[in-house]
Amino acid sequence: MSKKKILYGGLALAAVGVGSLAVYSFNKPTKKKRSTETKVWKYGNDINTDQLFPGKYTYTCSTLEEIKPHLLEDLDQDFAENVSEGDFLFAGKNFGCGSSREQPALGLKGVGIQAIVAKSFARIFYRASINQGLILIECPKAIDAFQEGDHVEIDLERSVIKVGEKEFEFPKLPKEILAIREAGGLLPYSRKLLKERQKNREKSEK
């Protein structure tokens, strides 16, 4: 059963559609398209990093277990308890603005957010999220089209978001970003590259 809740989170009005069905495919050739009943959390413009994770916990919370209970607590008190692996997060303009801290991106990735779709992102948050292996997509038309209860499908291979019966194109994500996601983040991706280079060097020296 779905419910709708309007909250005021400091800088933006947040509309949360809980209980909608989202279908997503991330185009892994060796796996079937995955679909699951999940949620689309939708918020407004200028959602800053303090709203995603309060700054007062910056130096006391560093692990996912410590971060999760405080995710979006000043914006949406239902989020931390009800977010599930595979959920999507939709937002307006300038998502992730404010201070440059890793906890918001680390927390959203850790609780299983599959992708964040927004009209635009703050650049520092965008980079921090890529480092964690999150998929971030800019698609204003999809945000405007989404209504509570809509089916959502993200096809990275075609660069298309399907909202209800409508499809919206978004800029194709660079292969490096997809590779970082597949590896689980920038650090494991970098380790993988170093190992591959080491193997190639050893082969060339034989």
Number of H helices, E strands in the chain: 8, 11
pLDDT at 152 over 60: yes
Within this chain, do residues 54 and 35 fall inside the same structural domain, yes or no?
yes
Tell me if residue 145 falls in helix, strand or coil.
helix
Reported as a single tens digit per residue, the pLDDT across 84-115 is 999 999 999 999 999 888 899 999 999 999 99
Within this chain, do residues 45 and 83 fall inside the same structural domain, yes or no?
yes
Tell me if residue 11 falls in helix, strand or coil.
coil
Within this chain, do residues 88 and 125 fall inside the same structural domain, yes or no?
yes
Within this chain, do residues 167 and 179 fall inside the same structural domain, yes or no?
no
How confident is the model over 128-142, as a mean pLDDT?
Answer: 96
Q: What is the tally of structural domains in the chain?
A: 2
Within this chain, do residues 197 and 108 fall inside the same structural domain, yes or no?
no
Within this chain, do residues 63 and 85 fall inside the same structural domain, yes or no?
yes
User: For 75, phi and psi rounded to 5 degrees?
Assistant: -110, -45
pTM of the model: 0.80
Tell me what pLDDT residue 202 has.
Answer: 80
The amino acid that residue 68 corresponds to is K
Within this chain, do residues 145 and 77 fall inside the same structural domain, yes or no?
yes
Element housing 22 (H / E): strand 22-23
Within this chain, do residues 64 and 149 fall inside the same structural domain, yes or no?
yes
Within this chain, do residues 180 and 164 fall inside the same structural domain, yes or no?
no
Domain interval for residue 138? 3-171
